[in-house]
């Protein structure tokens, strides 16, 4: 497929330096990373390696101190918070380790929330949320609140939510970190299916080598830089 060759995300010499009083602590020190459309990439590294910071940059949650980040060719490193929010809502779907659902809203409403922020009309929202929840096998749990769902179910709601605005990139931060291996496996199956069947670009941050194995490519991060890159050999 020709689409797979197109670079969707490009980080060029990205630095993020936190100032703790007089001390400057670099979390990212010249990170270079290019992600192609339709790729399944995992980023691995020990804690303190800059994984989370990298994830924030990729997810447009934060802007770099130095360097440039291109998402579909647009430089997002100098954008305002409101513009970033707009881009996050449309182009990126987040899946968090702690699921991060809103507890006062039902599964259905949680899935609809990003669509509300994008001004999607109500009937369209309801239809889409229903389809997505059915896709993650939660058709019978649509009106349950997160507190009434198991961890695995909550993460599946989060996956449905991440897909609702048809994002270019799905960003998963330790998606199985809070789940036992069996439910974690189910969640990974869903992610792989999204990648294989829907051709979604998935970027996953993890410290678990077994989980990372699901990806086409794994980048190893240490001290804010890529130190090693590994490509899955075609099985």
Partner 1 sequence: MKYDYLIIAVRSLAKRKTRTYLTMIGIFIGIASVIALIGLGEGLRVAITSQFGFMGTDVLSVQAAGVSGAGMPGTGAITPLTKDLAEKIDRIGGVEVAFNRYMSTTTLEFNDKQKIEFVISMPEGSTRNIVERMVNLKASQGRLLTDADHKKVILGDNYAQDSSFGTTFGRPLRAGDKILLNGMSFEVAGILEKKGSFIFDDAIWMNEDEMLEYMGVDEDNVNIIAIKVTDIAYMDSVKEDIEKLLRKERGVDEGEEDFSVETPQSMLDSLNSTLYAIQLFVTIIAVISLVVGGIGIMNTMYTAVMERTKEIGIMKSLGAKNSTIFTLFFIESGLLGMVGGIIGIILGLLFAYGAAWAGRLILGADLIQASVSPGLVLGALTFSFVLGTVCGVLPAYQASLLNPVDSLRKAK
User: Which residue shows structure tokens 């010249």?
Assistant: 30
How near is the Cβ of 214 to partner 1 at its closest, in Å?
Answer: 23
User: Which residue shows structure tokens 């179910």?
Assistant: 153
For residues 18 and 216, give the distance between their C-alpha atoms in angstroms, rounded to a whole number: 32
- Which region, judged by CB under 8 A, interacts with partner 1, from 21-29, 89-97, 135-143, 211-219? 89-97
User: Is residue 150 close enough to count as binding partner 1 by CB under 8 A?
Assistant: no
Our CB check for partner 1 shows the closer of 62 and 208 to be 62
Report how far Cα 66 is from the mean position of its chain's Cα atoms. Answer: 22
Q: What is the SS3 assignment for 2-53?
A: CHHHCEEEEEEEEEEEEEECCEEEEEEEEEEEEEECCCEEEEECCCCCCHHH
- CA distances to 76, 155, 212 from 36, rounded to whole Å, are 17, 26, 18
User: Is residue 224 close enough to count as binding partner 1 by CB under 8 A?
Assistant: no
Strand pairing class (40-44; 7-20):
unpaired
User: Is residue 94 close enough to count as binding partner 1 by CB under 8 A?
Assistant: yes
Q: Map the footprint of partner 1 across residues 14-53, applying CB under 8 A.
A: none
For residues 44 and 93, give the distance between their C-alpha atoms in angstroms, rounded to a whole number: 20
Q: Map the footprint of partner 1 across residues 161-190, applying CB under 8 A.
A: 161, 165
Give Dmax (Cα) for the chain.
55
Among 85, 126, 135, 230, binds partner 1 (CB under 8 A): 85
How near is the Cβ of 164 to partner 1 at its closest, in Å?
Answer: 9
Among 59, 152, 184, 224, binds partner 1 (CB under 8 A): 59
How near is the Cβ of 68 to partner 1 at its closest, in Å?
Answer: 19
- Which region, judged by CB under 8 A, interacts with partner 1, from 79-87, 133-141, 200-208, 209-217? 79-87
Our CB check for partner 1 shows the closer of 162 and 218 to be 162
Our CB check for partner 1 shows the closer of 61 and 230 to be 61
Q: Map the footprint of partner 1 across residues 101-130, applying CB under 8 A.
A: 101-105, 113-114, 116-119, 122
CB-CB contact of 203 with 172 (8 Å): yes
Number of residues that bind partner 1 (CB under 8 A): 29
Our CB check for partner 1 shows the closer of 109 and 216 to be 109
For residues 157 and 63, give the distance between their C-alpha atoms in angstroms, rounded to a whole number: 28
User: Which residue shows structure tokens 């050999």?
Assistant: 233
**Where on the chain is the footprint of partner 1 (CB under 8 A)?**
56, 59, 61-62, 81-82, 85-86, 88-90, 94, 96, 98, 100-105, 113-114, 116-119, 122, 161, 165
């Amino acid at each position: 497929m020709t689409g797979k060759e197109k670079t969707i995300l490009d980080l060029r010499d990205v630095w993020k330096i936190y100032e703790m009083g007089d001390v400057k602590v670099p979390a990212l020190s010249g990170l270079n990373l290019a992600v192609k459309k339709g790729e399944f990439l995992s980023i691995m590294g020990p804690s303190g390696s800059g994984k989370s910071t990298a994830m924030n940059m990729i997810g447009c949650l934060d802007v770099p101190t130095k360097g440039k980040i291109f998402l579909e060719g647009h430089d997002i490193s100098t954008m305002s918070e409101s513009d970033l929010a707009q881009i996050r809502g449309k182009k990126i779907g987040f899946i968090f380790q702690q699921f991060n659902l809103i507890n006062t809203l039902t599964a259905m409403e949680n899935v609809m929330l990003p669509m509300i922020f994008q001004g999607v009309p109500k009937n369209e929202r309801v239809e889409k949320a229903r389809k997505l929840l059915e896709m993650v096998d939660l058709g019978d749990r649509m009106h349950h609140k997160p507190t009434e769902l198991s961890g695995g179910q909550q993460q599946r709601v989060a996956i449905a939510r991440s897909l609702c605005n048809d994002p270019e990139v799905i960003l998963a931060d330790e998606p199985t970190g809070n789940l036992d291996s069996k439910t974690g496996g189910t969640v990974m199956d869903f992610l792989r299916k999204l990648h294989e069947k829907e051709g979604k670009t998935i970027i996953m941050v993890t410290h678990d080598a077994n989980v990372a194995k699901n990806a086409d490519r794994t980048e190893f991060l240490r001290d804010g830089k890529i130190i090693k890159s590994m490509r899955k050999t075609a099985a």
